[in-house]
Amino acid sequence: VQLQASGGGLVQAGGSLRLSCAASRRTFSSYAVGWFRQAPGKEREFVAAISWSGGSTYYADSVKGRFTISRDNAKNTVYLQMNSLKPEDTAVYYCAARVGYSGSYYLLDNEYDYWGQGTQVTVSS
């Protein structure tokens, strides 16, 4: 499956962005999806994850209460709504997917099989 991440940009602190992860495969509804990010000079870190049905989600503590992950399986797309953005949210954001089982979501990058190309999010202070 091919993933296309989009929606990044430059925003002031306190602002909002919505990232999208569009998949090429119509069976995308069977895939669990995660968002990760990598800031310059830092390792890639987990941001949020969602089960194949959308019924289960999980967030990193650093974004909990500010970011919301959701999906529209009819559109083969997963979203990451980012509110109250902070300069420390600046990073390249990647979406990743893997076949999901039951209501599981996945937190580790090595659990995912497919990755999008990344979209840059820059938050100015």
The C-alpha atoms of residue 89 and residue 102 are separated, in whole angstroms, by 31
Per-residue model confidence (pLDDT) at position 101: 84
Per-residue pLDDT, averaged over 45-73, amounts to 96
The C-alpha atoms of residue 41 and residue 62 are separated, in whole angstroms, by 18
Residue at token pair 């100015």? 124
Give the chain's mean pLDDT: 95
Per-residue pLDDT, averaged over 55-75, amounts to 96
Amino acid type, 51:
S
Cβ atoms 41, 31 nearer than 8 A: no
Strand partners, 77: 22, 72
As a whole number of angstroms, the longest Cα–Cα distance in the chain is: 41
* pLDDT single digits (tens) 31-46: 999 999 999 999 999 9
* pLDDT single digits (tens) 93-117: 999 999 988 789 999 999 999 999 9
Residue 64 has pLDDT above 80, yes or no: yes
Binning pLDDT at 50, 70 and 90, where does residue 84 land?
very high
